[in-house]
Amino acid sequence: MQVAIGLVGMVTIFAIAILLSNNRSAINLRTISTAFLIQAAIAALILFVPAGGLVLDKVVKGVQTVINYGNDGIAFVFGSNLQATLGFTIAFNVLPVIVFFAALMSVLYYLGVMQRVVGVFGGWLHKLLNTSHAESVSAVSNIFVGHTDAPLVVKPYLAGMTQSELFAVMTGGCATIAGAVMMGYAQMGVELKYLITASFMAAPGALMMAKIMMPETEPHDERPHTELVDEADAPVNIFEAIGNGAMTGMHVAMAVGAMLIAFVGLIYLLNGVLTGIGGWFGFEGLTLQWLLGHAFSPIAFLLGVPWAEATQAGSLIGQKLVINEFYAYVSFVEIKDSLSPYTQLVVTFALCGFSNLASIAILLGGLGAIAPSRRHDIARLGLRAVIGGTLVNLMNASLAGFFFSLQ
Whether 146 has a pLDDT exceeding 50, the answer reads yes
* pLDDT value at residue 153: 75
The answer to whether the beta carbons of residues 181 and 26 sit under 8 Å apart is no
Provide the domain count of the chain. 1
pLDDT band for position 219 (cuts 50, 70, 90): confident
Choose among 208, 318, 202, 325: nearest CA to 259.
325
* pLDDT value at residue 166: 94
First vs last C-alpha separation in the chain: 14
The answer to whether the beta carbons of residues 71 and 83 sit under 8 Å apart is no
Whether 87 has a pLDDT exceeding 80, the answer reads no
User: pTM value?
Assistant: 0.89
Q: How far apart are CA 309 and CA 399, in angstroms?
A: 19
Whether 9 has a pLDDT exceeding 80, the answer reads yes
Taking residues 192-204, report their average pLDDT: 95
Taking residues 332-352, report their average pLDDT: 96
Report for 46-55, 112-121, 174-183, 226-235: range of highest mean pLDDT: 46-55
The answer to whether the beta carbons of residues 294 and 314 sit under 8 Å apart is yes
pLDDT band for position 229 (cuts 50, 70, 90): very low
The answer to whether the beta carbons of residues 390 and 212 sit under 8 Å apart is no
Q: How far apart are CA 354 and CA 107, in angstroms?
A: 24
Q: How far apart are CA 95 and CA 153, in angstroms?
A: 26
Range of the domain at 161: 2-405
Q: How far apart are CA 242 and CA 237, in angstroms?
A: 9
The answer to whether the beta carbons of residues 31 and 69 sit under 8 Å apart is no
Which spans in 48-162 are helix H?
50-78, 82-86, 90-93, 95-110, 113-129, 133-141, 155-158
pLDDT band for position 85 (cuts 50, 70, 90): low
Taking residues 166-181, report their average pLDDT: 90
The answer to whether the beta carbons of residues 316 and 162 sit under 8 Å apart is no
* pLDDT value at residue 228: 43
